Structure 1
Amino acid sequence: MTATATPAQNPESAAPALPAAGSSFYTAMRLLPKERREAMYAVYAFCRAVDDVADDGGTRAVRQAELDRWRADIDALYAGRPAPRVCDLVEPVRRFGLKREDFQAVIDGMAMDAVEDIVAPDAETLDLYCDRVASAVGRLSVRIFGMPEADGIRLAWHQGRALQLTNILRDIDEDAERGRLYLPREKLQAIGLTDPTPVQAISHPRIGEVCISLAREAEEHYEATWEIIRRSPRKATKAARLMAAAYHLYLKAVVDRGWAMPRARVKPGKLALLGVVLRHGLI
């Protein structure tokens, strides 16, 4: 659920993936100084590659085996024996003190999708998933941004969850088509749904109650994110500010659209996104 791309035919020698021009991530990363920007692109390429494995990497057995190879490659990277496909991470790890356990957490998060399709996880499992696929990426990112350690980790915790819950709400129909449902079990049970299929859940006449409740949780994480950003060095939070503001536009768009079927795919207007860039990207 974090990113989509066509898997490389030869992952050992594939060129690093770059974010799509015009995307919120691309715009945010372009604001960084060269060495930090290149470090973020290397982290992005790693995340994109393992996400491709989880989503489109073949049979479950093949996907699990490939994720195990990525785990081994990260271990070898930290042992001073980097495989070709992680060589671009050598300098970011050295320069910014990136943690092995955060890379491994990202892989573990992708494995949660690869082992079996996630369907109505309990709240604890959903939070673990968000931590692995989003907040772990945030922990890598805040070190590259130059955030103070304690507030950087807190920012990653809240912003990762805010962004991932936004993704979940934005993508409920697309995820259901893949046989996945990330809405928490407890909230579904509250509207009378027990062990639903993804399509049954998203078609339920009261599904809006579940989505609105999850949107409120996302809003709480956005509020905590901005509280941390406001007390942090502005230079170190420029990319985080732009990402938080841009993703919040997506959350607002899906809430404003509502949850009645059929649901149109939403995207913030170009002027709104330009306003985010002007407000947070130029200062």
Structure 2
Amino acid sequence: MIDANTSITTAIGVATSIETSKQELLRDLLKQVSRLFYTTLVVVPADVRDQVSLAYLFARAADTIADTELIDRPRRLDLLGQLKAQFVSDQITWPQVREIQQAVGPIQQNSAERILLERLEDCFKLFQTFTADDRRRIQRLMTTLTQGMEMDLIVFSGTSAEDLTVLKTLEDLDRYTYYVAGCVGEFWTDLMCAHRRALASWKVREMSEVGVRFGKGLQLTNIVKDIAHDLQKGRCYVPAPMLAEAGLTGRDLLDQRNRARFQPVLNKLVRMAVEHLDQGWLYAMSIPRYETRLRLSCMWPILSAGESLKLVMNSPDLLNPAIKVKIPRSKVYQIMALTTSTYACGYVGTAYWGRLRKQII
């Protein structure tokens, strides 16, 4: 018979092992996968940090599967489907998780992404220690995010500029931005309202809709700043009808000399992004000021997106794939320093956002 001391020792050992694994995944590995995200994550309140961190690792794992071109497209869709299946029910199918690890992990050139895939099973074990409600939130997020990745692989069947595909409608663009970013606003709102007492008075459904707009604005920002790079991969996220209004086709954007002709279309896309980000700013300012950390975690991506959009609008090389439109990391740190030193002050932040808006549109 096992005595009480042995049972206690075993329990302590298991708890210590789980805690060690959690630190390795949510601190060490996350820092390797994305140093910038890790830096901004530090400001997220401690009682929701683990959930956000693990959700990010799952999303990066899915993104890695979708982007691994050494695996053919049908197989990537199959592996994405297997990953998504783990979030459809409360049962983890461990052989499928291991199949994903074995198929995708060893061929990764990025060491952090290789380690992430190798530790995918550990991620799911950590996931099982979360509360049922938090698991449900991550399940909903991941089933939606993977739809966006599947849409990428199905709609954009080529891999180069020679096989360029253009989104057919503005509705397709709106649906895509919801799948890959808008749904994060829903997840964030649901999670924060459940764990942060200061947001207990928020109407979750209404604020989730605002959060969706927030996420869409960030994704539209990514789309316009990465347009030249995506075109070279055979993907044009600018809908065909918007291009047609300016007498353009997707293939015209491969010619850098059409930058001026593209400007009216760009103006509309950027205005759409700013209107979504305006809602994001209202979202951030709806967070009580004494929830400084939570406010900052929303202010930083909006102001960074605004700085990116300013660069986009002023870049003559937007259609040049050799030039990446990206704000320097020093600008991100400047935003973080200003807003942190003023304790997420709404007056200071809103003045900054207002100036950016005028410079953008």
Pair in the same fold by TM > 0.5: yes
Equivalent position to 2:243, from 188, 195, 198: 188
C-alpha distance in structure 2 between counterparts of 1:260 and 1:75, whole Å = 40
Matches within 5 A, 1:115-194: 115-117=154-156, 119-121=165-167, 122-146=169-193, 148=202, 149-194=204-249
Equivalent position to 1:103, from 131, 142, 145: 142
Secondary structure (helix, strand or coil) at the match of 1:155 reads helix
Does 1:49 pair with 2:61? yes
Look up the match of 1:5. none
C-alpha distance in structure 1 between counterparts of 2:131 and 2:256, whole Å = 41
Does 1:61 pair with 2:107? no
Look up the match of 2:51. 39
Q: How many residues were matched structurally?
A: 266
Matches within 5 A, 1:3-22: 18=30, 20=33, 22=35
Mapped contact 2:185–2:212 kept (Cα < 8 A): yes
Deviations 1:160-186 (A, max 9, x none): 111100000110111111111111222
Letter paired with 1:204: N
C-alpha distance in structure 1 between counterparts of 2:65 and 2:219, whole Å = 19
C-alpha distance in structure 2 between counterparts of 1:91 and 1:280, whole Å = 35
Look up the match of 1:8. none
Matches within 5 A, 1:191-210: 191-194=246-249, 196-197=250-251, 200=254, 204-205=258-259, 206-210=261-265
Structure 1 moving runs of 4+ over 6 Å: none
Equivalent position to 2:304, from 198, 223, 246: 246
| Worse-superposed segment, 25-34 or 81-90 | 81-90
Does 1:280 pair with 2:319? no
Deviations 1:97-130 (A, max 9, x none): 5163332111111001112417321100110000
Secondary structure (helix, strand or coil) at the match of 2:180 reads helix
Residue 212 of structure 1, CA deviation: 1.9
Residue 61 of structure 1, CA deviation: 0.6
Gaps of 5+ in 1: 1-14
C-alpha distance in structure 2 between counterparts of 1:233 and 1:89, whole Å = 30
Structure with higher Rg: it is 2
Equivalent position to 1:218, from 269, 273, 288: 273
Q: TM-score, normalised by structure 2?
A: 0.66
Residue 208 of structure 1, CA deviation: 2.2
Deviations 1:179-206 (A, max 9, x none): 1111122210111134x33754766341
Gaps of 5+ in 2: 1-24, 95-120, 158-164, 194-198, 344-361
Residue 71 of structure 1, CA deviation: 1.9
C-alpha distance in structure 2 between counterparts of 1:211 and 1:227, whole Å = 24
- Percent of aligned positions that are identical: 23
Letter paired with 1:233: P
Secondary structure (helix, strand or coil) at the match of 1:232 reads coil
Residue 159 of structure 1, CA deviation: 1.1
Letter paired with 2:81: D
Higher normalized contact order (CA 8 Å, seq sep 6+, divided by chain length): 1
Deviations 1:20-67 (A, max 9, x none): 5552x3332110233422211111111111112222252111011011
